[in-house]
Every structure is written in structure tokens, then in C-alpha cells.
Amino acid sequence: MPSLVSQSHKALKGSATIPGDKSISHRALMLSALAVGESRITGLLEGEDVIATANAMRAMGATIERVGDGEWRVHGVGVGGLMTPADIIDMGNSGTSTRLLMGLMASHDITVTMTGDDSLRGRPMARVIDPLTEVGATFAARDEQYLPLTLTGTDFPVPLDYTPPMASAQVKSAVLLAGLNTPGVTTVREKVATRDHTERMLAAMGADISVEQEGDIRVVKLVGQPELKPITLEVPGDISSSAFVLVAASIVEGSDVTLEGVGLNPLRTGIVAALQQMGADISVINERFLGGEPVADLHIKAAKLHGVTDLKVDPSTMIDEFPVLFCAAATANGTSRFTGLEELRVKESDRLALMAAGLKANGVEVIEFKDGIEIKGAAGKVPGGGTVATALDHRIAMSFAVLGQMAENSITIDDATPIATSFPTFTGLMQKLGAGLILGD
Ligand code: S3P
């Protein structure tokens, strides 16, 4: 369990390319593994979570290989062609792999047993088990809803008309992916719009999918059993990983950083708007399209941030970025208050509890609520000096690595290994920009 010590007051300078988007990388592997023909993917995130997806799709019959120059080639089995794996599949830390794959498996006549690490085995799966049971799949899960679990898919899947009870792109995608091998039309009605990478990629691969707004409800309809065309895709940089650099460059005096080719899907860009609302100096330049997704370069200069109590951003557009936003708030002038965030308690860790504990351990005053947090900004003078427990949560680890860059004393992160799940090049990339990060044994 190597620790990571973060301390510096050195400005971050230069430009960097952030690794590929995790959500898009998962979907690119899953959907190209169901296409007929060869797909070619570049810029795929080569983090542990995405590798878990690749291994699972291989175990169910797809051919996935990395060729020279970082290109990935996938030979699909066709919709309906998944096979029962020869062994249990281990999803590691990845909730996205687990939930989306459960959707795919549910409408195939296969049986799969899945497990994962301590964090993943503690995450609720009822949110996908419930709708997928209506599709016709059956489940044997520990305590009804936790991994390890065995899923038996059905030969006669039922097309759902489903309204997820929580804002969740994973639940939406699981239902849509089950709809792929289901005759008839599968409908998902979202009360809150969530990231739409599944919809965009299915449309790009020739599926008959429509998205319409009915009042406040976003209605997605997918006609089942399409023949998916293979794709040639360049995965944009991950805005969720970029968020760590956006905050670091905003809070360390004198910083000036450019990030190239960051994915700016409008259902993912809440972190940019939130930081701008707090006074950050971020400009969006060179806007373009890459693989059906909007992309741009981001230019960030350090700025004096102020607290925010009326965040004008929909939490679903930045659900993974709250931990690092809390760190930005800890450095700001004035108090910040964030609510409506109960979903943060069921991420890779209970992110409200862990962020509150980590901030307190580093001298920041916080009040934790059931669904949020209040943070008293230290006006540029975070004491630091504490050790943070990361509980297998990559984003907690990286958030405090960022905060340590401006704290008065170093911040120690107890375990740096989870960073490899989503941003394996984080430490080196940050060091290249000038960050002070020391990996322990
Ligand atoms: C993801 C959806 C989000 C997010 C996760 C990735 C996806 O989860 O937190 O990191 O790729 O669909 P929820 O759907 O649980 O909000």
C-alpha cells in the first residue's frame, strides 16, 4: 500500500493531455464487442477499470487486442452472441463495468458470476437488479444485492418502459444495454438527464435510438436487436480526470496550464461551470468534435476563489467531481454549502464521510449533512499536515493530492494504488507540470 505525500507551493505550468474518458472507454469496448466486424479505438483509457471491462468481454467471447501505437482492435460477436464465461469474472473496483455488463448479460441466455474488490462488494446493485429482473434475468446475490452475485440471463427478454428512481447513467445504460438483445422498444424516462455516451455511441453504430424531451422528462427509446456497425473511435480526454488539474492550477498561485483535447459533453461539464462560479479563470478554446463528442482545450490560470452556497449546476453533470470541488472550496474565501448529494455516499467510498474526515484532518472546518457538506474556506491558508484514508477510492486520493499542493504542511494519502483505476498517469503528469508529489513504498 504505497502512500503519496503531497506538498509544494510551486506554480503548475505547461500543457498536458489527459488520458481517455473512462465512461466512453467502457462503452466503446462493450459496444464494439457486440458489433459485427472490426472496431479500432485509439486514446482508450488504459486504467484498471477499463481493463476489467476488456477482460469481461473477452471472457464472453469477444476478441480484444492492443496493437502498436496504443490502438485497440475489437472483433465483435454480434448482438445476441455473448457466451457464458469459463470462470468467475472479477470486476475489480469498477461499478460502471459491473452495472453496464449486468445489463448486457440480462438479455443473453448465459450465466455469469461476478465479484470485485472490497469497495465494489459494498456497493448497492439493487438499482440494476430490480429493472433487470423485470427484463427476465434472475439473480443470486449476497444479501440480495451485493457482489459476489450470479446472474442468469433470459432467452425471452421483455422490453422495459423504465423510470430510474435516482439520477444514474449506469442504471439508464444497464436498461438500454439489456434492450439491445430484446425484441421491441426499450424506453428509459429520466427525471434528471445524465451523461448520454451510451445513446451517442449506439446512434453512431447504427442503432435505431431516439431521445425526446417530454416536459421535464428525457425519454430515450431503443429498438432492439440492431446489427451494430463497427466503429473507428478516438476517445476524448476525461473531463473527470481533468478536474484534478483544473482545481490544482486554480488554487496554486501563479499557475498557468493548458489541457488538450478534453471531452466537453454538456452532461459532464458541471465542474467547469462550478469552478467559474467560484471565480476560477478557465477558458475553453479550440472547440471541435471527436468521435461524436464535443472536445476542446482548457486554459487555466490561478485565481482567487470564493465560496459558493447556491451552486447553479445540476449535480448529475459533475457527480464524480465533488470531492475535488470540496478541496477547491476548502481553499476559498468564505463558506461553501453543497446539498442534494446523497448519491456520493454510494460511490467507490462514502465520499461525503471521507471528504469530511480528510478535510478535518487537515485543519479545515466542515459540517457534514445527510446529503451534503458545508466547508469553511481557509482563504488560501489550509493548514494540512494530516493523513487521509482513501478506502480504495481513486478520487479521494487525487483530491487530497491536489489540496496538498497549496497546504502549509504536507498532506499524506494513505494508499495511492486506487489512482490506477481511472488515471494511471496522474502522478507523473502532475509532477511534469511542477507538482510536488512523492510516492512512498
Ligand atoms: C458513470 C456514471 C456515474 C459515475 C461513474 C461513471 C457512467 O455513476 O459516477 O463514475 O459511466 O455511466 P452513476 O450512474 O451511479 O451516477
Same domain, yes or no: 248 and 273 = yes
Could you tell me which residues come within 8 angstroms of residue 155 by beta carbon, excluding any fewer than 6 positions away?
Answer: 109
Same domain, yes or no: 92 and 122 = yes
The answer to whether 196 is a known catalytic residue is no
* Ligand 1 atom nearest residue 170's Cα: 14
Count: domains in the chain: 2
The active-site residue out of 49, 117, 320, 415 is 320
Same domain, yes or no: 298 and 280 = yes
Same domain, yes or no: 264 and 355 = yes
> For a pocket test of ligand 1, which of 104, 170, 202, 398 has the largest count of ligand atoms closer than 8 A to its C-beta?
170
Is 23 close to ligand 1, i.e. is its CB under 6 Å away? Answer: yes
Question: Which domain-ending residue is among 182, 209, 234?
Answer: 234
What count of other Cβ atoms lies within 10 Å of the Cβ of residue 273? 17
Give the pTM.
0.98
Q: What is the DSSP letter of 377?
A: -
Distance 96 CA to ligand 1 centre (A): 6
Same domain, yes or no: 196 and 249 = no
Same domain, yes or no: 300 and 423 = yes
Max CA separation in the chain (angstroms): 62
pLDDT tens for each residue of 238-297: 999 999 999 999 999 999 999 999 999 999 999 999 999 999 999 999 999 987 899 999
Distance 395 CA to ligand 1 centre (A): 13
pLDDT tens for each residue of 408-422: 999 999 999 999 999
What residue type is assigned to position 431 of the chain?
A: Q
Same domain, yes or no: 186 and 79 = yes
Residue 9 — very low, low, confident or very high, per pLDDT cuts 50/70/90?
Answer: confident
What pLDDT, on a 0 to 100 scale, did the predictor assign at position 407?
98
pLDDT reading at 181 higher than 90: yes
C-alpha closest to that of 100 among 178, 204, 22, 37: 178
Q: Which CATH number do you get for residue 374?
A: 3.65.10.10
Distance 319 CA to ligand 1 centre (A): 8
Question: Residues, the chain, total?
Answer: 441
Is 196 close to ligand 1, i.e. is its CB under 6 Å away? Answer: no
What residue type is assigned to position 119 of the chain?
A: S
Same domain, yes or no: 196 and 294 = no
Is 374 close to ligand 1, i.e. is its CB under 6 Å away? Answer: no
What pLDDT, on a 0 to 100 scale, did the predictor assign at position 441?
77
Sign of CA dihedral 194, 245, 241, 352: negative
What pLDDT, on a 0 to 100 scale, did the predictor assign at position 383?
98
pLDDT tens for each residue of 31-48: 999 999 999 999 999 999
Q: How far apart are CA 319 and CA 86, in angstroms?
A: 36
Calculate the average pLDDT of the chain: 97
Same domain, yes or no: 246 and 194 = no
What count of other Cβ atoms lies within 10 Å of the Cβ of residue 183? 14
* Ligand 1 atom nearest residue 320's Cα: 9
Is 154 close to ligand 1, i.e. is its CB under 6 Å away? Answer: no
pLDDT tens for each residue of 294-310: 999 999 999 999 999 99
Tell me how many degrees the CA angle 429-434-438 measures, rounded to the nearest 5. Answer: 75
Same domain, yes or no: 306 and 199 = no
Q: Which domain holds residue 97?
A: 22-223+230-234
DSSP for 84-113 reads --SS-EE-TT-HHHHHHHHHHHHTSS-EEE
Same domain, yes or no: 157 and 204 = yes
Same domain, yes or no: 210 and 267 = no
Runs of H (alpha helix) within 288-368: 322-331, 351-361
